[in-house]
């Protein structure tokens, strides 16, 4: 029986819809009274574990789940050893560079020398500024990255933006896009190569849905 | 005016009570309808920023806040460059090594050679096993660490335990304690040495409360 790692949060509803289309029902995870983190679908065909979006590639990399759904942003940030098999088209967002609207910065190159950039995506931000050959100090934060420029701790932030509402509410504007992101179907590379539990058939069925 | 970094979550209520005792009221953060992450106390004496517990030392290290309240566990995990000034006695919990109750492991040394340990506290776990001279593979997770042993991905976990309810619900038992933790008062080292904004007086007042 295959196990699928599903991400908590923004991608969950669309992920569950996708698997329903190929006959696997994990909608019990959407029930607000549900406390189980591991369920089997009603036809007893596949299992699913419900984990943090950043943990999905960990479960797949260690072979604890053969398939997983995760944002492209997480794959770029963590570069896990997993097979990236399909763009699932949902969960559209972008990794953006944003500054205070009241500031004078309108292009990355206008940021002050060795300016500070707060972000949850340290690896992505470092790579971006390295390519621009722009030396900045990256401040790693866990949450509320928008507080960086508001408190004056950083000149800019690198963060995931979907509607742009949070930026607007905090008086921030985007001045560059690092990359666009969508949900991806990932697999444990060895299980996929060896076609364990007919994994390739499942992947093919999923690909036909997007 | 000094700025204080307060941690979201388990330590918030007691932190706010502590500052109320010395005349600073940040109880607006406890109002469930509050969306502000930065407030000034009603007497206009001090500001507070509400951030993730792991971000408290970042704000203090960068001098964006002169004081902060954070768990000892976070200080040991991140080893930030901050002054650790007082044990505030609340937020009592422990960093524990736990395994499945159904397993045969009852001591760390009984874990299998190169066994796997899932944790959010990678640095603490590595340091602990290094001292025991026990080679293990650390699996970094963001949440629901208890799923590690349940899914079979890891033999053990290292995690913060307060009541022990989560462990019990998941059929896990503690087999060792890495260290005990409480909330700590931290300060920006330079601001403290230079006694900026009478920081030493505030620290003294706080020390008298614990």
How confident is the model over A130-163, as pLDDT tens digits?
999 999 999 999 999 999 999 999 999 999 999 9
Q: Say how far apart CA A84 and CA A184 lie, in whole Å.
A: 7
Based on its alpha-carbon atoms, the radius of gyration of chain A, rounded to whole angstroms, reads 19
Q: For residue B163, what pLDDT band results from cuts at 50, 70 and 90?
A: very high
Q: For residue B34, what pLDDT band results from cuts at 50, 70 and 90?
A: confident
- Which pLDDT belongs to residue A32? 85
The answer on pLDDT for B82 being more than 90 is yes
If asked whether residues A139 and A201 sit together in one domain, one would say: no
Q: How far is CA B119 from CA A77, B73, B114, B128, B138, in A?
A: 19, 13, 15, 12, 7
If asked whether residues B173 and B200 sit together in one domain, one would say: no
Please give the residue range of the domain that contains residue A167: 93-181
The answer on pLDDT for B187 being more than 90 is yes
CATH number at residue B131: 3.40.190.10
- Which pLDDT belongs to residue B196? 94
Phi then psi for residue A13, to 5 deg, are -60, -45
If asked whether residues A187 and A175 sit together in one domain, one would say: no
Q: How far is A165 from chain B (nearest CA, A)?
A: 14
Which residues of A fall within a CB distance of 8 Å from B59?
151, 153
If asked whether residues B66 and B39 sit together in one domain, one would say: yes
**Contact indicator for A89, A210 with CB cutoff of 8 Å:** yes
How confident is the prediction for chain B on average, in pLDDT?
96
Q: Say how far apart CA B29 and CA B16 lie, in whole Å.
A: 9
- Which pLDDT belongs to residue A137? 97
Positive or negative, the CA dihedral A173, A178, A182, A185 is negative
Instruction: Report CB contact under 8 Å: A62, B143.
Output: no
If asked whether residues A83 and A49 sit together in one domain, one would say: yes
Instruction: Report CB contact under 8 Å: B153, A51.
Output: no
Q: How far is B55 from chain A (nearest CA, A)?
A: 6
Mean predicted confidence (pLDDT) in B32-54? 93
Q: Is the ipTM of this complex over 0.85?
A: yes
Phi then psi for residue A62, to 5 deg, are -85, 0
If asked whether residues A53 and A23 sit together in one domain, one would say: yes
- Report the Cα–Cα distance between both ends of chain B, in Å, rounded: 24
Q: B57-81: per-residue pLDDT in tens? A: 999 999 999 999 999 999 999 999 9
If asked whether residues A28 and A70 sit together in one domain, one would say: yes
Decide: residue B9, CB within 10 A, 0-12 exposed, 13-18 middle, 19+ buried. Answer: exposed
If asked whether residues B79 and B20 sit together in one domain, one would say: yes
If asked whether residues B119 and B193 sit together in one domain, one would say: no
If asked whether residues B85 and B188 sit together in one domain, one would say: yes
If asked whether residues A113 and A156 sit together in one domain, one would say: yes
Mean predicted confidence (pLDDT) in B148-160? 95
What residues of chain A score a pLDDT lower than 50? Answer: none
Beta bridge partners of A187: A67, A83
Of how many residues is chain B composed? 210
If asked whether residues B138 and B170 sit together in one domain, one would say: yes
Q: Sheet harboring B116-119: ordered strands across?
A: B137-140, B116-119, B156-161, B93-100, B172-181
Based on its alpha-carbon atoms, the radius of gyration of chain B, rounded to whole angstroms, reads 19
Report how many domains make up chain A: 2
Q: Is A51's Cβ below 8 Å from some Cβ in B?
A: yes
Q: Say how far apart CA A174 and CA A176 lie, in whole Å.
A: 6
């Amino acid at each position: 029986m295959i196990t699928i790692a599903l991400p908590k949060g923004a991608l969950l509803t669309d992920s569950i819809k996708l698997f329903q289309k190929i006959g696997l029902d994990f909608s019990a995870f959407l029930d607000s009274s549900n406390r189980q983190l591991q369920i089997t679908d009603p036809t007893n065909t596949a299992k699913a574990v419900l984990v943090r979006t950043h943990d999905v590639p960990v479960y797949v990399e260690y072979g604890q789940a053969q398939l997983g759904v995760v944002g492209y942003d997480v794959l770029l940030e963590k570069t896990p050893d997993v097979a990236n098999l399909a763009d699932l088209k949902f969960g559209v967002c972008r990794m953006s560079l944003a500054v205070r609207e009241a500031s004078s910065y309108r292009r990355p190159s206008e940021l002050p020398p060795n300016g500070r950039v707060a972000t949850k995506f340290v690896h992505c931000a470092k790579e971006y500024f390295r390519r621009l050959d722009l030396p900045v100090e990256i401040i790693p934060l866990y949450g509320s990255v928008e507080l960086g420029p508001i408190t004056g701790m950083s000149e800019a932030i690198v963060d995931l933006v979907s509607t742009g509402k949070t930026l607007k509410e905090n008086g921030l504007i985007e001045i560059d896009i690092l990359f666009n992101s969508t949900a991806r179907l990932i697999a444990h590379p060895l299980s996929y190569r060896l076609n364990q539990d007919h994994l390739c058939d499942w992947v093919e069925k999923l690909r036909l849905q997007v």
